[in-house]
Structure 1
Amino acid sequence: MHRSDARLWFDGRFRSATATHSLYCLPFAGGSATYYADWAPHCASPVELVPVQLPGRGGRMTESSAKDLVQLAEEIADTIAAEPTRTLLYGHSMGAMLAFEVSRRLQTLNRPVRHLFVSGRPAPTIVRPIAPVSHLPRAEFIQMLRDYGAADQTVFEHDELLDLLMPMIRADFAMIENYRYQEAPRLSCPISAWCGDADPEVPPTAMRGWGDQTSGEFTLSVLRGGHFFLTEHRAEIMRAVLAAVRRAR
Protein backbone atom coordinates (compact mmCIF):
# COMPACT_ATOMS: atom_id res chain seq x y z
CA MET A 1 0.00 0.00 0.00
CA HIS A 2 1.70 3.18 -1.16
CA ARG A 3 1.40 6.50 0.64
CA SER A 4 -0.08 8.07 -2.53
CA ASP A 5 -3.14 5.82 -2.15
CA ALA A 6 -4.33 8.21 0.57
CA ARG A 7 -5.60 10.49 -2.21
CA LEU A 8 -7.95 7.70 -3.33
CA TRP A 9 -9.23 6.83 0.11
CA PHE A 10 -9.47 10.22 1.81
CA ASP A 11 -11.45 13.34 0.94
CA GLY A 12 -8.77 15.96 1.58
CA ARG A 13 -10.96 19.07 1.29
CA PHE A 14 -11.17 19.56 5.06
CA ARG A 15 -7.54 18.85 5.94
CA SER A 16 -5.84 21.24 8.37
CA ALA A 17 -2.11 21.94 8.56
CA THR A 18 -2.42 22.47 12.33
CA ALA A 19 -4.46 19.35 13.15
CA THR A 20 -3.03 16.85 15.63
CA HIS A 21 -5.95 14.42 15.24
CA SER A 22 -7.78 13.13 12.16
CA LEU A 23 -11.40 11.97 12.40
CA TYR A 24 -11.83 9.36 9.65
CA CYS A 25 -15.55 8.99 8.88
CA LEU A 26 -16.74 5.73 7.34
CA PRO A 27 -20.01 5.54 5.38
CA PHE A 28 -23.11 3.41 5.80
CA ALA A 29 -24.17 0.88 3.12
CA GLY A 30 -24.66 2.72 -0.16
CA GLY A 31 -23.16 5.89 1.29
CA SER A 32 -20.17 7.90 0.14
CA ALA A 33 -17.65 10.34 1.59
CA THR A 34 -19.79 13.30 0.48
CA TYR A 35 -22.35 12.55 3.22
CA TYR A 36 -19.91 13.83 5.84
CA ALA A 37 -19.15 17.13 4.07
CA ASP A 38 -21.95 18.74 6.11
CA TRP A 39 -20.02 17.88 9.27
CA ALA A 40 -17.07 20.11 8.36
CA PRO A 41 -18.50 23.37 9.81
CA HIS A 42 -18.85 21.63 13.19
CA CYS A 43 -15.25 20.38 13.25
CA ALA A 44 -12.60 22.47 15.00
CA SER A 45 -8.94 22.42 16.01
CA PRO A 46 -7.12 20.24 16.90
CA VAL A 47 -9.27 17.79 14.88
CA GLU A 48 -9.55 17.63 11.08
CA LEU A 49 -12.43 15.89 9.28
CA VAL A 50 -11.39 13.16 6.82
CA PRO A 51 -14.32 11.43 5.08
CA VAL A 52 -13.30 8.03 3.69
CA GLN A 53 -14.26 7.14 0.12
CA LEU A 54 -14.81 3.46 -0.57
CA PRO A 55 -14.38 1.82 -3.99
CA GLY A 56 -17.38 1.84 -6.33
CA ARG A 57 -18.71 5.33 -5.55
CA GLY A 58 -17.92 9.00 -6.07
CA GLY A 59 -14.57 9.51 -7.74
CA ARG A 60 -13.98 5.74 -7.47
CA MET A 61 -17.15 4.76 -9.36
CA THR A 62 -15.17 2.82 -11.98
CA GLU A 63 -13.61 0.54 -9.35
CA SER A 64 -15.22 -2.71 -8.25
CA SER A 65 -17.02 -2.59 -4.92
CA ALA A 66 -15.37 -4.40 -2.00
CA LYS A 67 -16.60 -7.90 -1.18
CA ASP A 68 -14.87 -8.63 2.15
CA LEU A 69 -15.36 -6.20 5.05
CA VAL A 70 -12.26 -7.26 7.00
CA GLN A 71 -10.04 -7.07 3.93
CA LEU A 72 -11.44 -3.62 3.13
CA ALA A 73 -10.80 -2.51 6.73
CA GLU A 74 -7.21 -3.72 6.52
CA GLU A 75 -6.58 -1.68 3.36
CA ILE A 76 -8.00 1.44 5.02
CA ALA A 77 -6.00 0.82 8.21
CA ASP A 78 -2.75 0.34 6.30
CA THR A 79 -3.32 3.70 4.59
CA ILE A 80 -4.17 5.45 7.87
CA ALA A 81 -1.06 3.98 9.50
CA ALA A 82 1.10 6.10 7.16
CA GLU A 83 -0.59 9.33 8.30
CA PRO A 84 1.26 11.62 10.77
CA THR A 85 -1.77 12.58 12.92
CA ARG A 86 -3.44 10.71 15.78
CA THR A 87 -6.34 8.55 14.66
CA LEU A 88 -10.01 8.94 15.57
CA LEU A 89 -12.61 6.79 13.82
CA TYR A 90 -16.32 7.33 13.30
CA GLY A 91 -18.67 4.95 11.51
CA HIS A 92 -22.41 4.64 11.12
CA SER A 93 -24.20 1.32 10.50
CA MET A 94 -21.94 -0.58 8.04
CA GLY A 95 -19.37 2.14 8.72
CA ALA A 96 -19.38 1.24 12.42
CA MET A 97 -18.32 -2.31 11.58
CA LEU A 98 -15.65 -1.02 9.22
CA ALA A 99 -14.37 1.40 11.87
CA PHE A 100 -14.24 -1.44 14.39
CA GLU A 101 -12.20 -3.69 12.11
CA VAL A 102 -9.93 -0.77 11.12
CA SER A 103 -9.34 -0.20 14.85
CA ARG A 104 -8.40 -3.85 15.33
CA ARG A 105 -5.93 -3.72 12.45
CA LEU A 106 -4.33 -0.48 13.65
CA GLN A 107 -3.88 -1.98 17.11
CA THR A 108 -1.96 -4.92 15.63
CA LEU A 109 0.15 -2.43 13.66
CA ASN A 110 1.03 -0.69 16.95
CA ARG A 111 -0.81 2.45 15.78
CA PRO A 112 -3.80 2.24 18.13
CA VAL A 113 -6.85 4.42 17.55
CA ARG A 114 -7.25 7.18 20.17
CA HIS A 115 -11.05 6.92 20.23
CA LEU A 116 -13.67 4.88 18.34
CA PHE A 117 -17.09 6.47 17.71
CA VAL A 118 -19.89 4.24 16.41
CA SER A 119 -23.60 4.67 15.72
CA GLY A 120 -26.62 2.83 14.38
CA ARG A 121 -25.18 -0.68 14.50
CA PRO A 122 -25.64 -3.39 17.15
CA ALA A 123 -22.48 -4.72 18.78
CA PRO A 124 -20.15 -6.64 16.42
CA THR A 125 -21.14 -10.03 17.86
CA ILE A 126 -24.75 -9.50 16.70
CA VAL A 127 -25.42 -10.57 13.10
CA ARG A 128 -27.15 -7.99 10.91
CA PRO A 129 -29.22 -7.94 8.80
CA ILE A 130 -31.28 -10.71 10.38
CA ALA A 131 -32.20 -12.05 6.91
CA PRO A 132 -30.23 -11.48 3.67
CA VAL A 133 -31.54 -8.64 1.51
CA SER A 134 -28.81 -8.12 -1.12
CA HIS A 135 -30.46 -10.47 -3.66
CA LEU A 136 -34.03 -9.23 -3.27
CA PRO A 137 -35.86 -8.50 -6.54
CA ARG A 138 -35.48 -4.88 -7.67
CA ALA A 139 -38.86 -3.62 -6.42
CA GLU A 140 -38.45 -5.25 -2.98
CA PHE A 141 -34.87 -4.05 -2.68
CA ILE A 142 -35.90 -0.46 -3.49
CA GLN A 143 -38.70 -0.63 -0.92
CA MET A 144 -36.21 -1.88 1.66
CA LEU A 145 -33.97 1.12 0.87
CA ARG A 146 -36.93 3.48 1.21
CA ASP A 147 -37.73 1.99 4.63
CA TYR A 148 -34.06 2.17 5.55
CA GLY A 149 -34.10 5.92 4.85
CA ALA A 150 -30.55 6.08 3.52
CA ALA A 151 -31.17 7.94 0.28
CA ASP A 152 -32.94 11.17 -0.47
CA GLN A 153 -36.46 10.26 -1.68
CA THR A 154 -35.81 12.07 -4.97
CA VAL A 155 -33.25 9.38 -5.86
CA PHE A 156 -36.09 6.86 -6.11
CA GLU A 157 -37.74 8.95 -8.82
CA HIS A 158 -34.81 8.53 -11.22
CA ASP A 159 -34.55 5.01 -12.61
CA GLU A 160 -31.29 5.66 -14.49
CA LEU A 161 -29.58 6.91 -11.33
CA LEU A 162 -30.93 3.96 -9.35
CA ASP A 163 -29.67 1.52 -12.00
CA LEU A 164 -26.23 3.14 -11.75
CA LEU A 165 -26.09 2.92 -7.95
CA MET A 166 -27.83 -0.43 -7.43
CA PRO A 167 -24.83 -2.76 -7.99
CA MET A 168 -22.74 -0.82 -5.45
CA ILE A 169 -25.54 -0.76 -2.86
CA ARG A 170 -26.26 -4.48 -3.32
CA ALA A 171 -22.53 -5.20 -2.95
CA ASP A 172 -22.42 -3.28 0.34
CA PHE A 173 -25.35 -5.25 1.76
CA ALA A 174 -23.78 -8.53 0.59
CA MET A 175 -20.53 -7.57 2.33
CA ILE A 176 -22.40 -6.91 5.59
CA GLU A 177 -24.32 -10.19 5.28
CA ASN A 178 -21.09 -12.14 4.87
CA TYR A 179 -19.35 -10.53 7.86
CA ARG A 180 -18.92 -12.65 10.97
CA TYR A 181 -17.28 -11.51 14.17
CA GLN A 182 -14.00 -13.28 15.06
CA GLU A 183 -12.54 -13.35 18.57
CA ALA A 184 -9.48 -11.11 19.01
CA PRO A 185 -7.85 -9.05 21.80
CA ARG A 186 -10.05 -6.21 23.01
CA LEU A 187 -9.37 -2.68 21.85
CA SER A 188 -7.58 -0.38 24.28
CA CYS A 189 -9.24 2.86 23.13
CA PRO A 190 -12.44 4.38 24.53
CA ILE A 191 -15.63 3.68 22.56
CA SER A 192 -18.51 6.15 22.33
CA ALA A 193 -21.77 4.88 20.83
CA TRP A 194 -25.07 6.43 19.74
CA CYS A 195 -28.41 5.10 18.55
CA GLY A 196 -31.78 6.59 17.63
CA ASP A 197 -34.71 6.12 20.00
CA ALA A 198 -37.00 5.25 17.05
CA ASP A 199 -34.63 2.87 15.22
CA PRO A 200 -36.37 -0.54 15.47
CA GLU A 201 -33.29 -2.44 14.27
CA VAL A 202 -30.86 -0.91 16.78
CA PRO A 203 -32.30 -0.62 20.32
CA PRO A 204 -29.99 0.53 23.15
CA THR A 205 -29.83 -3.05 24.47
CA ALA A 206 -28.17 -4.12 21.18
CA MET A 207 -25.64 -1.27 21.41
CA ARG A 208 -24.44 -2.02 24.93
CA GLY A 209 -22.32 -4.93 23.76
CA TRP A 210 -19.89 -2.44 22.20
CA GLY A 211 -18.60 -1.93 25.73
CA ASP A 212 -17.32 -5.52 25.75
CA GLN A 213 -15.00 -4.72 22.83
CA THR A 214 -12.70 -2.41 24.77
CA SER A 215 -10.69 -2.36 27.97
CA GLY A 216 -11.17 1.41 27.94
CA GLU A 217 -14.13 3.64 28.76
CA PHE A 218 -17.51 3.05 27.09
CA THR A 219 -20.37 5.51 26.79
CA LEU A 220 -23.77 5.05 25.11
CA SER A 221 -26.11 7.90 24.22
CA VAL A 222 -29.65 7.63 22.84
CA LEU A 223 -30.77 10.50 20.58
CA ARG A 224 -34.15 11.31 19.05
CA GLY A 225 -34.74 9.85 15.60
CA GLY A 226 -34.70 6.76 13.42
CA HIS A 227 -31.79 4.96 11.78
CA PHE A 228 -30.41 8.18 10.33
CA PHE A 229 -30.79 10.26 13.49
CA LEU A 230 -27.19 11.43 12.99
CA THR A 231 -28.18 13.75 10.13
CA GLU A 232 -30.08 15.97 12.58
CA HIS A 233 -27.57 15.48 15.41
CA ARG A 234 -24.25 15.95 13.59
CA ALA A 235 -23.37 19.11 15.56
CA GLU A 236 -24.00 17.31 18.85
CA ILE A 237 -21.95 14.28 17.77
CA MET A 238 -19.05 16.49 16.67
CA ARG A 239 -19.17 18.36 20.01
CA ALA A 240 -18.82 15.00 21.76
CA VAL A 241 -15.85 14.09 19.55
CA LEU A 242 -14.07 17.39 20.31
CA ALA A 243 -14.83 17.06 24.03
CA ALA A 244 -13.38 13.53 24.08
CA VAL A 245 -10.16 14.76 22.45
CA ARG A 246 -9.85 17.63 24.94
CA ARG A 247 -10.36 15.23 27.86
CA ALA A 248 -7.70 12.88 26.53
CA ARG A 249 -5.21 15.72 26.17
Structure 2
Amino acid sequence: MSQPTRWLKRYRPVAAPRFRLICLPHGGGTASFFRSWAEALPPEVELAAIQYPGRQDRLAENCIEAMEPLVDSIADAVQPLLDAPFAVFGHSMGATVGYEVTRRLEARQTPPRHLFVSGKATPFKERTGRQLHREDDAAMLAGVRELGGLHETFLDDPDLLEVVLPSLRADLRLMETYRPTPDAAIATPVTAYVGDADPGVTVAEAAAWAETTSGGFTLRTFPGGHFFLTDHRDVLVSDLLGRVAAPSSTPGDRHIDSAVRPATP
Protein backbone atom coordinates (compact mmCIF):
# COMPACT_ATOMS: atom_id res chain seq x y z
CA MET A 1 0.00 0.00 0.00
CA SER A 2 1.35 3.43 -0.94
CA GLN A 3 1.82 6.09 1.72
CA PRO A 4 -0.89 8.63 0.80
CA THR A 5 0.86 11.63 2.35
CA ARG A 6 3.78 11.28 -0.06
CA TRP A 7 1.54 11.07 -3.11
CA LEU A 8 -1.14 13.64 -2.30
CA LYS A 9 -0.83 17.42 -2.08
CA ARG A 10 -3.91 19.12 -0.64
CA TYR A 11 -3.09 22.82 -0.88
CA ARG A 12 -6.39 23.91 0.68
CA PRO A 13 -7.69 21.02 2.80
CA VAL A 14 -11.46 20.84 3.27
CA ALA A 15 -12.75 19.06 6.38
CA ALA A 16 -15.90 17.63 4.80
CA PRO A 17 -15.76 18.32 1.05
CA ARG A 18 -18.84 18.13 -1.11
CA PHE A 19 -16.61 17.04 -3.97
CA ARG A 20 -12.95 16.25 -4.67
CA LEU A 21 -10.90 16.80 -7.79
CA ILE A 22 -7.85 14.54 -8.14
CA CYS A 23 -5.29 16.09 -10.52
CA LEU A 24 -2.44 14.37 -12.35
CA PRO A 25 0.46 16.44 -13.76
CA HIS A 26 2.12 16.30 -17.18
CA GLY A 27 5.41 14.56 -17.91
CA GLY A 28 8.27 16.21 -16.01
CA GLY A 29 5.63 18.12 -14.03
CA THR A 30 4.83 18.36 -10.35
CA ALA A 31 1.81 18.61 -8.09
CA SER A 32 2.44 22.33 -7.63
CA PHE A 33 1.31 22.92 -11.22
CA PHE A 34 -2.21 22.74 -9.74
CA ARG A 35 -1.58 24.86 -6.64
CA SER A 36 -3.44 27.87 -8.05
CA TRP A 37 -6.38 25.66 -9.01
CA ALA A 38 -7.06 24.97 -5.34
CA GLU A 39 -7.73 28.67 -4.76
CA ALA A 40 -9.96 28.86 -7.85
CA LEU A 41 -12.33 26.17 -6.59
CA PRO A 42 -15.40 26.79 -4.41
CA PRO A 43 -14.78 26.43 -0.65
CA GLU A 44 -16.61 23.11 -0.49
CA VAL A 45 -14.53 21.51 -3.26
CA GLU A 46 -11.11 20.06 -2.41
CA LEU A 47 -8.27 19.54 -4.85
CA ALA A 48 -5.75 16.74 -4.35
CA ALA A 49 -2.78 16.85 -6.71
CA ILE A 50 -0.65 13.78 -7.23
CA GLN A 51 3.07 14.12 -6.59
CA TYR A 52 5.02 11.59 -8.64
CA PRO A 53 8.29 10.29 -7.12
CA GLY A 54 11.58 11.92 -8.09
CA ARG A 55 10.55 15.59 -7.91
CA GLN A 56 10.19 18.43 -5.39
CA ASP A 57 9.77 16.96 -1.88
CA ARG A 58 10.18 13.45 -3.37
CA LEU A 59 13.41 14.31 -5.21
CA ALA A 60 15.44 11.70 -3.30
CA GLU A 61 13.12 8.91 -4.46
CA ASN A 62 13.58 7.01 -7.70
CA CYS A 63 11.23 7.92 -10.51
CA ILE A 64 8.78 5.23 -11.62
CA GLU A 65 9.46 4.35 -15.24
CA ALA A 66 6.58 1.98 -16.02
CA MET A 67 2.86 2.63 -16.14
CA GLU A 68 1.57 -0.31 -14.11
CA PRO A 69 3.44 0.30 -10.83
CA LEU A 70 2.75 4.05 -11.09
CA VAL A 71 -1.01 3.75 -11.49
CA ASP A 72 -1.31 0.93 -8.96
CA SER A 73 0.43 3.15 -6.39
CA ILE A 74 -1.80 6.12 -7.21
CA ALA A 75 -4.96 4.00 -7.01
CA ASP A 76 -3.85 2.86 -3.55
CA ALA A 77 -2.90 6.37 -2.42
CA VAL A 78 -6.25 7.97 -3.30
CA GLN A 79 -8.35 5.41 -1.41
CA PRO A 80 -8.69 7.63 1.72
CA LEU A 81 -10.16 10.38 -0.49
CA LEU A 82 -12.98 8.31 -1.94
CA ASP A 83 -15.38 8.99 0.92
CA ALA A 84 -16.76 11.91 -1.13
CA PRO A 85 -17.80 12.12 -4.79
CA PHE A 86 -14.78 12.82 -6.97
CA ALA A 87 -13.48 13.31 -10.48
CA VAL A 88 -10.07 12.76 -12.06
CA PHE A 89 -8.27 15.37 -14.19
CA GLY A 90 -5.03 14.72 -16.05
CA HIS A 91 -2.99 16.89 -18.38
CA SER A 92 -0.74 15.43 -21.11
CA MET A 93 0.93 12.35 -19.56
CA GLY A 94 -1.46 12.84 -16.65
CA ALA A 95 -4.40 12.19 -19.00
CA THR A 96 -3.12 8.71 -19.84
CA VAL A 97 -2.26 8.05 -16.20
CA GLY A 98 -5.77 9.24 -15.26
CA TYR A 99 -7.33 6.81 -17.73
CA GLU A 100 -5.38 3.90 -16.25
CA VAL A 101 -6.14 4.97 -12.67
CA THR A 102 -9.82 5.19 -13.60
CA ARG A 103 -9.68 1.64 -14.98
CA ARG A 104 -8.33 0.41 -11.67
CA LEU A 105 -10.84 2.36 -9.58
CA GLU A 106 -13.68 0.96 -11.67
CA ALA A 107 -12.34 -2.55 -11.06
CA ARG A 108 -12.42 -1.79 -7.33
CA GLN A 109 -16.05 -0.58 -7.58
CA THR A 110 -15.03 2.98 -6.63
CA PRO A 111 -15.26 4.82 -9.98
CA PRO A 112 -14.91 8.59 -10.37
CA ARG A 113 -17.92 10.59 -11.41
CA HIS A 114 -16.00 11.89 -14.43
CA LEU A 115 -12.62 11.63 -16.14
CA PHE A 116 -11.22 14.86 -17.61
CA VAL A 117 -8.32 14.53 -20.05
CA SER A 118 -6.34 17.46 -21.41
CA GLY A 119 -3.69 17.98 -24.07
CA LYS A 120 -3.27 14.32 -24.98
CA ALA A 121 -4.25 11.93 -27.75
CA THR A 122 -6.06 8.74 -26.82
CA PRO A 123 -3.84 5.93 -25.46
CA PHE A 124 -4.77 3.91 -28.55
CA LYS A 125 -3.27 6.34 -31.06
CA GLU A 126 -0.86 4.59 -33.41
CA ARG A 127 2.70 5.14 -32.22
CA THR A 128 5.42 6.73 -34.33
CA GLY A 129 8.19 4.62 -32.84
CA ARG A 130 10.20 7.66 -31.79
CA GLN A 131 12.00 7.03 -28.50
CA LEU A 132 13.03 10.38 -27.04
CA HIS A 133 14.02 8.82 -23.75
CA ARG A 134 16.92 7.07 -25.53
CA GLU A 135 18.32 10.32 -26.95
CA ASP A 136 20.98 12.51 -25.35
CA ASP A 137 19.78 15.49 -23.33
CA ALA A 138 19.96 17.99 -26.20
CA ALA A 139 18.06 15.79 -28.66
CA MET A 140 15.51 14.79 -26.05
CA LEU A 141 14.80 18.41 -25.13
CA ALA A 142 14.59 19.42 -28.78
CA GLY A 143 11.96 16.74 -29.31
CA VAL A 144 10.00 17.79 -26.24
CA ARG A 145 10.15 21.45 -27.31
CA GLU A 146 8.89 20.50 -30.79
CA LEU A 147 5.87 18.80 -29.22
CA GLY A 148 5.25 21.64 -26.76
CA GLY A 149 5.46 19.11 -23.94
CA LEU A 150 7.43 21.06 -21.33
CA HIS A 151 6.65 24.46 -19.95
CA GLU A 152 9.00 27.16 -21.30
CA THR A 153 9.89 28.16 -17.73
CA PHE A 154 11.95 24.99 -17.43
CA LEU A 155 13.41 25.10 -20.92
CA ASP A 156 14.74 28.63 -20.43
CA ASP A 157 16.19 28.22 -16.92
CA PRO A 158 19.33 26.00 -16.82
CA ASP A 159 19.10 25.44 -13.06
CA LEU A 160 15.47 24.33 -13.18
CA LEU A 161 16.17 22.25 -16.26
CA GLU A 162 18.94 20.33 -14.53
CA VAL A 163 16.54 19.39 -11.73
CA VAL A 164 13.70 18.36 -14.03
CA LEU A 165 15.73 16.37 -16.60
CA PRO A 166 15.78 13.04 -14.70
CA SER A 167 12.03 13.03 -14.10
CA LEU A 168 11.35 14.15 -17.67
CA ARG A 169 13.44 11.30 -19.09
CA ALA A 170 11.76 8.81 -16.75
CA ASP A 171 8.30 10.04 -17.75
CA LEU A 172 9.18 9.83 -21.43
CA ARG A 173 10.39 6.26 -20.92
CA LEU A 174 7.15 5.45 -19.10
CA MET A 175 4.99 6.83 -21.91
CA GLU A 176 7.08 5.49 -24.79
CA THR A 177 7.11 1.94 -23.43
CA TYR A 178 3.46 1.95 -22.31
CA ARG A 179 1.08 -0.35 -24.16
CA PRO A 180 -2.62 -0.07 -23.26
CA THR A 181 -4.77 -3.14 -22.84
CA PRO A 182 -6.66 -3.62 -26.15
CA ASP A 183 -10.37 -2.77 -26.08
CA ALA A 184 -10.19 -1.74 -22.41
CA ALA A 185 -13.04 0.77 -22.44
CA ILE A 186 -14.11 2.42 -19.20
CA ALA A 187 -17.70 3.22 -18.19
CA THR A 188 -16.87 6.60 -16.66
CA PRO A 189 -17.94 9.65 -18.73
CA VAL A 190 -15.01 11.45 -20.34
CA THR A 191 -14.48 15.10 -21.31
CA ALA A 192 -11.43 15.93 -23.42
CA TYR A 193 -9.91 19.43 -23.55
CA VAL A 194 -7.38 20.49 -26.17
CA GLY A 195 -5.67 23.64 -27.38
CA ASP A 196 -6.44 24.38 -31.02
CA ALA A 197 -2.76 25.13 -31.70
CA ASP A 198 -1.24 22.25 -29.70
CA PRO A 199 1.70 20.93 -31.75
CA GLY A 200 1.54 17.55 -30.05
CA VAL A 201 -2.13 16.63 -30.42
CA THR A 202 -4.77 17.57 -32.97
CA VAL A 203 -8.42 18.20 -32.23
CA ALA A 204 -9.28 15.00 -34.12
CA GLU A 205 -6.85 13.02 -31.97
CA ALA A 206 -8.40 14.44 -28.81
CA ALA A 207 -11.86 13.58 -30.14
CA ALA A 208 -10.79 9.93 -30.36
CA TRP A 209 -11.02 9.73 -26.55
CA ALA A 210 -14.68 8.98 -27.28
CA GLU A 211 -13.54 5.46 -28.16
CA THR A 212 -12.19 4.84 -24.65
CA THR A 213 -15.54 5.03 -22.84
CA SER A 214 -18.98 3.49 -23.01
CA GLY A 215 -20.19 6.49 -20.98
CA GLY A 216 -20.88 9.97 -22.29
CA PHE A 217 -18.19 11.96 -24.08
CA THR A 218 -17.60 15.66 -24.73
CA LEU A 219 -14.76 17.44 -26.52
CA ARG A 220 -14.02 21.11 -25.89
CA THR A 221 -11.32 23.12 -27.62
CA PHE A 222 -9.56 26.20 -26.29
CA PRO A 223 -7.40 28.74 -28.07
CA GLY A 224 -3.74 28.07 -27.40
CA GLY A 225 -1.00 25.47 -27.42
CA HIS A 226 -0.11 22.56 -25.19
CA PHE A 227 -0.35 24.61 -21.99
CA PHE A 228 -3.57 26.41 -22.95
CA LEU A 229 -4.92 25.63 -19.47
CA THR A 230 -2.59 28.13 -17.79
CA ASP A 231 -4.19 30.98 -19.77
CA HIS A 232 -7.75 29.66 -19.44
CA ARG A 233 -7.69 28.19 -15.95
CA ASP A 234 -10.85 29.85 -14.65
CA VAL A 235 -12.91 29.03 -17.74
CA LEU A 236 -11.73 25.43 -17.73
CA VAL A 237 -12.36 24.96 -14.00
CA SER A 238 -15.84 26.46 -14.36
CA ASP A 239 -16.60 24.12 -17.26
CA LEU A 240 -15.32 21.14 -15.31
CA LEU A 241 -17.39 21.95 -12.23
CA GLY A 242 -20.48 22.46 -14.36
CA ARG A 243 -20.10 19.01 -15.86
CA VAL A 244 -19.75 17.20 -12.54
CA ALA A 245 -22.73 19.12 -11.11
CA ALA A 246 -24.93 18.25 -14.10
CA PRO A 247 -26.90 14.99 -14.30
CA SER A 248 -24.77 12.08 -15.46
CA SER A 249 -24.41 11.72 -19.20
CA THR A 250 -26.44 9.03 -20.91
CA PRO A 251 -24.14 6.18 -21.93
CA GLY A 252 -23.16 6.59 -25.54
CA ASP A 253 -23.84 10.35 -25.68
CA ARG A 254 -21.28 12.23 -27.78
CA HIS A 255 -20.95 16.00 -27.88
CA ILE A 256 -18.31 18.04 -29.69
CA ASP A 257 -17.81 21.69 -28.72
CA SER A 258 -15.12 22.10 -31.35
CA ALA A 259 -15.82 25.76 -32.07
CA VAL A 260 -15.81 27.02 -28.46
CA ARG A 261 -13.66 30.12 -28.03
CA PRO A 262 -13.79 31.11 -24.34
CA ALA A 263 -13.04 34.65 -23.33
CA THR A 264 -9.57 35.15 -21.89
CA PRO A 265 -9.89 35.35 -18.06
Residue 23 of structure 2 corresponds to residue 25 of structure 1: yes
Partner of 1:134: 133
- How far 1:23 sits from its partner (Å)? 0.6
Question: Alpha carbons of 1:153 and 1:241: their partners in 2 closer, same or farther (altered >3 Å)?
Answer: closer
Q: CA deviation at 1:120?
A: 0.7
**Is 1:222 the equivalent of 2:224?**
no
8 A contact 1:44–1:242 mirrored in 2 = no
* Pairwise CA distance, 1:241: 1.7
Offset of residue 128 of structure 1: 5.2
Farther-moved stretch of structure 1 (113-122 vs 78-87): 78-87
Root-mean-square deviation over aligned CA pairs = 1.9
1:142 Cα offset (Å): 2.7
1:57 to 50, 55, 58: 55
Q: Which residue of 2 aligns with 1:7?
A: 5
> Does 2:151 match 1:151?
yes
Question: 1:184 and 1:46, CA in 2 relative to 1: closer, same or farther beyond 3 A?
Answer: farther
Q: Which stretch of the first structure deviates more once superposed, 189-198 or 128-137?
A: 128-137
Query: Does 239-248 or 87-96 show the bigger shift?
Result: 239-248
Point out the more displaced range, 84-93 or 13-22. 13-22
The aligned residue for residue 16 of structure 1 is 14
1:20: Cα distance to partner? 2.5
Alpha-carbon separation, structure 2, partners of 1:156 and 1:33: 20
Within-5 A mapping of 1:101-180: 101-127=100-126, 131-147=130-146, 148=148, 150-153=150-153, 156-158=156-158, 160-180=159-179
TM-score by length of 1: 0.91
Percent identity, aligned pairs only, is: 34
1:108 Cα offset (Å): 0.3
User: Deviations along 1:179-213, whole A, 9 cap, x unmatched?
Assistant: 11113552222111111111132111111221121
Given the superposition, is the C-alpha separation of residues 172 and 129 from structure 1 closer, same or farther in structure 2, using an over 3 Å criterion?
farther
Unaligned runs of 5+ in 1: none
**TM-score (ref. length: structure 2):** 0.86
- The verdict on how the C-alpha distance between 1:226 and 1:184 changes in structure 2, with shifts beyond 3 A counting, is same
Cα deviation, residue 145, structure 1: 3.7
SS of 1:51's equivalent in the other structure is strand
Structure 2, unaligned stretches of length 5 or more? Answer: 249-265
Q: In structure 2, the residue corresponding to 1:13 is in which secondary structure?
A: coil
C-alpha offsets along residues 60-82 of structure 1, whole Å, 9 cap, x if unaligned? 10010011112211111122123
Which stretch shifts more, 106-115 or 126-135?
A: 126-135
Q: Residues 248 and 78 of structure 1: is their aligned pair in 2 closer, same or farther, counting only changes over 3 Å?
A: farther
1:197-245, Cα deviation, whole Å (9 max, x unpaired): 1113211111122112112110001110011111111111110121122
What count of residue pairs does the alignment treat as equivalent? 246
The equivalent residue for 1:243 is: 242
Give CA-to-partner distance per residue, 1:3-47, whole Å, 9 cap, x none. xx1111110222211312211110101000011112122211442
1:44 — aligned with what?
Answer: 42
Deviates most, 128-137 or 174-183: 128-137
Contact 1:133 1:141 in 2 (8 A): yes
